[in-house]
Structure 1
């Protein structure tokens, strides 16, 4: 079995799992390569897996995502011996946490709701094996379906994406970031009233959406975005 001696230690992992199974194009679902943070391409086998990667890319607490990370042996209900390869392993930044209470890496299986509800009895042995394997490594194991991936956060992320490549005024950009840093946090409504009143409101709002999309500003992405949304400058990103 592959192992990690110091999970998430100092946000580095020298012996982390690597992709164990090559993903080939298939006619049964949409597959491809997702350009993760402009650094490397991560393969996906469905639109739901792609959308999971979109969420991970936006989440500043996510350090890295390893596709097809490990091979887990298991025995099915009929005694057959098989190998199960979960979809992803997600590492998180240590942040301000301690090495005692660090954010555990997560072994992830991405599965549409209809599929896991229809086949959960058949798939339960391999998922139990993955849970045991993850615990042994000091990780967690979760199954992600549409309810965990395509929620309000995902809708907000997709909305902000249209502003990511927008050309912005550097002076206005820096002014907003410095203001929020000095205040600790403030609402979008406050920034618009202070810097973009009247006919400039739409331009100011677009600039704020852009700064959120490129992760120069942070907010609670799990609730609907509006002028009452509180903003702050992220610790890393």
Structure 2
């Protein structure tokens, strides 16, 4: 099995996504692939992401041998998944002729102790993605120590909403910029916990890591 190298081209949107831990970057070939990588950036169970990691031998319905390369291999704490990333409309058009390819890829992945998933804009561009998009710029940023400690102390007795914390810690409106400048990095770097499926906002419930 060979790994196909992704090269920039004029027909697709290409770029590089920097890994949150600073260990390198991953090339993407579309805006949707970029968004998928952003979605993964705030997951604490992701151990490794590899772009176009391997090639699988498949058999076309006419008996011809072909090869198929998934878009990504993601190693989680408890599983390894091969991903195909497609826009929903694109997948709908391709499905009649590519269905057998994806089914063979799933069978091959299962035989190797892995999983195979097709993800689309419907499953990628969710509230969880929007949270990751908004918080990813704060990855690796150190919050103001004084405000971070105040937020931590404010959560000592249990989770609270952002609104509750603002009202308790920022009696003066000018303090709020300093508050958010500490809150977002703490959420991005998992110094605080939140439900990743809940929209960022004043009703967001945050707490200390368990």
Normalised by the size of structure 2, how large is the TM-score? 0.88
Q: Which residue is 1:190 aligned to?
A: 164
- SS of match in other structure, 2:33: helix
Runs of 5+ in structure 1 lacking a partner? 2-18, 94-102
On the 8 A contact 1:73/1:129 being kept in 2, the answer is no
Q: Which residue is 1:31 aligned to?
A: 14
On the 8 A contact 1:88/1:109 being kept in 2, the answer is yes
Normalised by the size of structure 1, how large is the TM-score? 0.79
Q: Distance in 1 between matches of 2:29 and 2:139?
A: 25
On the 8 A contact 2:57/2:68 being kept in 1, the answer is yes
* Corresponding position: 1:157 with 2:114: no
* Corresponding position: 1:58 with 2:3: no
Q: What is the number of equivalent residue pairs in this alignment?
A: 208
Q: Distance in 2 between matches of 1:86 and 1:162?
A: 28
Give the superposition deviation at 1:168. 4.0
On the 8 A contact 1:163/1:206 being kept in 2, the answer is no
Distance change (3 Å), C-alpha of 1:146 and 1:208: same
Distance change (3 Å), C-alpha of 1:166 and 1:133: closer
Q: Distance in 2 between matches of 1:71 and 1:219?
A: 38
Distance change (3 Å), C-alpha of 1:62 and 1:128: same
After superposition, what is the alpha-carbon deviation per residue over 1:162-199, rounded to whole angstroms, capped at 9, x for unaligned? 5558774212113323543x335332223223222232
Matches within 5 A, 1:158-177: 158-161=133-136, 168-177=143-152
How large is the RMSD of aligned CA atoms in angstroms?
A: 2.2
Q: More deviation in 56-65 or 167-176? A: 167-176
Runs of 5+ in structure 2 lacking a partner? none
On the 8 A contact 1:56/1:62 being kept in 2, the answer is yes
Q: Which residue is 1:7 aligned to?
A: none
